[in-house]
A = this chain, B = another copy of it.
Amino acid sequence: MTHYEAALNRLNEALHKIKAFDYSTSMLFWDASTGAPKSGADARSQAIGVLSGFQYQLLINDQMAEDLSVLLENYSELDEMNQVLVSDTKKDYDKLTKIPMEEFQKYNMLISKSAMVWEDAKGKSDFEMFKPYLTEVVDYLLKFADYRGFDGHPYNLYIGDFEDGMTVDQLDVFFAELKARIVPLLSKIAAKNKQIETSFLFEHYPVNLQDELSRDVLKMIGFDLERGQLKESVHPFTMGVDIDDVRLTTHYYENDFSSAFFSTAHEGGHAIYEQNIDKKLQGTPLATGTSNGIHESQSRIYENNFCRSESFLEFLFPILKEKFEIQLEGVSSQMFYEAINRVEPSLIRVEADELTYSLHIMLRYEIELALISRQISVDELPDVWNEKVKAYLGIVPPDDARGVLQDVHWSEGLFGYFPTYALGSAYAAQLAHYMGREIDIEACLADGDFKPLTKWLNEKVHQYGSLKKPNELIEMITGERLNSKYYCDYLELKYSKLYGLN
């Protein structure tokens, strides 16, 4: 065995062990989210504390440093899978070691305090309370960027933590086109003042029937319930602990049809991705979606491009009518489609419709970038926020709780995360465009036949897990990098028709 082969064996053994700890803490999280007694929280966090310590030591140690260095020297000798394992591990290693331990601990204490203060501040709609914490968070992020090193802009580092290879340059182009095309589209829609009846979506929809429907839709779109599990939690999420064990949750509201249905379709997209990764990656850290943005593209393509489409909803409507006869009495398929897809600018991101959602993300991107670039100060945030909401969505937050304080992310130091929500929708549109060159998507949806669509995504996206990085993957499939044109085209086409724009 050569020197680097021994190092490779040790690396793979360490990753195997780390995976076991990941698996366990994921299960504790799953348990906590799906019915564990609240009183058990202390015991759980004690256990997670201990496990995290072991997991840290498995990654951060002298042997690992040496092995990574040997493997990087012999990088060209490695096969593709091991190359990615080495470079991904190196990234994780650097992320945890380039920042002095003491400062990192202080930062973690700040974050834990900051998240609590944010909750309180949001409750009281008091931005002043939160300001010193957010200021300190931004200072730390800039300092850490210096420790970690970055190409071009420090914000590239934080985008890269969630979307490998994505840069401010790419995002600036992306959001510029979005702003140029979607903001005017929204204005035109608002000017139309079209009235869409939605009250039937808020009739009483019994939870057990919604649950049946959720399972039916999962089966329909191609999720294998035998190799996974659907449960209920407060906030829907997907967790793939193994290719053969992918769990997802939804949340049922008795008086709201759409919420659980589209949550399930959304999480179903994430879950189908996790379930269809090539088995050769099973048990390795590569057996999961490659980035937040690509993951979100799979949830969005199932949720929006497929399940909110006119063709599919026409197919689905008679099935729903049978299940919810009374609730949907007097409702036509067209009325249903329009109600599901109505555009209504709102203050709260998580309740936004498909069209306005990305505008919420755009304003956060602009603010994050300006903060990290020191172009605006934390002091100015509420005003900047409100101006942008007015400019993009045409409405004004009545208070900071429904404005700048609405999301938890910044209090947790999560910068660079928001853009991936918009990237997901844009990747989805780009993928759907190229899929449409090979498959008659509308015809499939009109038949409720997801097989060809899921098969295409299995082959083009899912199988690779984290083996291909986002830019590489999108370029491999579509022959070009992220191109916002497809997303804007898709939205213009859909909403011009729905709102009868010329």
Contacts and interface: CB of A to CB of B under 8 A. Distances in A.
Interface stretch (A25-33, A116-124, A347-355): A25-33
A375 interface: no
A36 interface: yes
Q: Taking each of A38, A44, A50, which has the highest tally of chain B beta carbons within 10 Å of its own beta carbon?
A: A50
Contacts of A49: 20
A451 interface: no
Contacts of A30: 31
A283 interface: yes
Nearest to A17: B50
A227 B43 CA distance: 12
A274 to B, nearest CB: 12
A82 B49 CA distance: 24
Interface string A27-63: 1101100011111101110111111001000000000
Contacts of A35: 229, 231
A296 interface: no
Q: Taking each of A17, A21, A37, A283, which has the highest tally of chain B beta carbons within 10 Å of its own beta carbon?
A: A37
A60 B19 CA distance: 23
Given A51-B20, A54-B54, A241 B283 contact: no
Contacts of A164: none
A42 B28 CA distance: 18
Contacts of A229: 35-37
A23 interface: yes
A79 interface: no
Interface in A212-267: 226-229, 231, 241-242, 244-245
Contacts of A27: 24, 27-28, 31
B244 A39 contact: yes
A109 B46 CA distance: 34
Indicate how many identical chains form the complex.
2
B47 A244 contact: no
Contacts of A227: 37, 39-40
A244 B40 contact: yes
A98 interface: no
Interface residues of A, number: 37
A372 B51 CA distance: 41
A16 interface: yes
Nearest to A225: B37
A363 B164 CA distance: 67
B51 A24 contact: yes
Contact of A244 (B19, B42, B283): B42
A47 B38 CA distance: 26
Contacts of A40: 227, 241-242, 244-245
Contacts of A51: 20-21, 24
A398 B91 CA distance: 66
21 contacts: A16-B46, A17-B50, A19-B47, A19-B50, A20-B50, A20-B51, A23-B43, A23-B46, A24-B27, A27-B28, A35-B231, A36-B229, A38-B226, A39-B226, A39-B227, A39-B244, A42-B242, A42-B244, A43-B244, A43-B283, A44-B245
Interface of A: 16-17, 19-21, 23-24, 27-28, 30-31, 35-40, 42-44, 46-51, 54, 226-229, 231, 241-242, 244-245, 283
Given A24-B47, A42-B244, 13 more contacts: A17-B50, A20-B47, A27-B28, A35-B229, A36-B229, A37-B228, A37-B244, A39-B245, A40-B241, A40-B242, A43-B241, A43-B244, A43-B245
